[in-house]
Amino acid sequence: MSRRAPDVRDVRAAAYQLPTPVPEADGTLAWDSTTIVVAEVSAEDVVGLGWTYADASCVPVITGVLAPVVTGRPLSAVPEIWQAMQQRIRNLGRPGLVSCALSAVDIALWDAAARWLDVPVADLLGRCREQADLYGSGGFTSYDDDQLVDQLRSWTDRDIGRVKIKIGESWGARPAEDLRRVGLTRETVGPDTDLFVDANGGYTVGQARRMADALAELDVTWFEEPVSSDDLDGLATVRAATAIDVAAGEYGYDLVYFARMAPVVDCLQVDVTRCGGYTEWRRAAAVAAANGLEVSAHCAPNLSAHAAAATPNFRHIEWFADHDRIESELFAGCLDPSGGSVTVPRTGAGHGLAFRRDVAEPYAV
């Protein structure tokens, strides 16, 4: 019996601000809370769930700007709805908050469509694997040694064989301290764990090249945003000077950004909650593939997992400590990162996640 997909009936959004356990910082930013904007799309008897880690000002963009062009359209046509949203926001500007809002709605639409079909999101996107590798991510520059070691052990104790810490403290003002912390990390995780670093654009090109030499001696294999990701020539210069993989892309909000960046990195990072949702993720991954690159998922681990399972040229998911904590608290059914990979089930509907609204409510902003 054939069934016509139901029309989208309702789009809702709300923002929740959760404090971090302790103050956190990377090379170029400090924070003590994280805001998640949750979008919900209803059609017939299903509700799709999506989210983005962005400012609460995404909420009126979703409810006031995007909802009117999404409502009333058939759930089976997510890319068509995506195009309507893209046309609607022309004069607002795509990058930044607008793209985050667009991403949350797009993700909720795919989840709703998958729930209606009673299949996992990964299957609807076009599955190509069941398991996706991941790495533990955190190692904030604000941590003292005990906090850093405790977090690293929380990953290695679960057999997660890849870890990433932040360096570039205070815009690259403390390179010796950065290297001491990387050394402590290597000592803690042992020689067989893959060790990654992220400078969040904290170094100059010359600094980054000198750091790369020292990092190579500690067997670091991933140098993320050694210089500002806006400095494509700088990324290319650092990349040419080291055998360590240079990675960037977390601020990519549209396809052209990824097309420009792909030639100067060894692995393209894409954030599904910023880039334009699953719809644009697939095209960004194709841009990477055409440049001979793999894609690594930036943040939002439980959403990234479904994209990972549907991306042929996929490397790993960033299991970011802040987002792991928030998603485990606010959503039932989160994936287990133990063993260093997640299994994206072949059964179940949508992401298989349920929003714990009562838990979230006290954090509402």
- List residues near Mg ion by CB under 5 A: 198, 250
Q: Of 293 and 344, which CB lies nearer to Mg ion in the complex structure?
A: 293
- φ, ψ dihedrals at 358, nearest 5°: -65, -35
Question: By the 8 A CB rule, do 146 and 138 touch?
Answer: no
Contacts of 60 (CB under 8 A, 6+ apart): none
- Contact of 115 with 284, CB cutoff 8 Å: no
Q: Which is nearer to Mg ion, 169 or 250 (CB)?
A: 250
Select from 249, 188, 198 the least CA-distant residue to 220.
198
Q: What is the 3-state secondary structure (H, E, C) of 128-167?
A: CCCEEEEEEEECCCCCCHHHHHHHHHHHHCCCCCEEEEEC
Strand order in the sheet with 10-25: 10-25, 30-43, 46-52
Strands 46-52, 30-43: parallel, antiparallel or unpaired by DSSP? antiparallel
CB 168 within 8 A of CB 27: yes
Residue nearest to Mg ion (CB): 198
Q: What is the distance between the alpha carbons of residues 210 and 214, in angstroms, rounded to a whole number?
A: 7
Separate counts of helices (H) and strands (E) for the chain: 15, 14
The 8-class DSSP code of residue 172 comes to H
* CA gap 204, 200 in Å, rounded: 11
How close are the terminal C-alpha atoms of the chain, in Å?
45
Distance of alpha carbon 121 from alpha carbon 351, whole angstroms: 6
Bridge partners (DSSP) of residue 320 are 137
Best CA proximity match to 337, nearest among 346, 347, 327 = 327
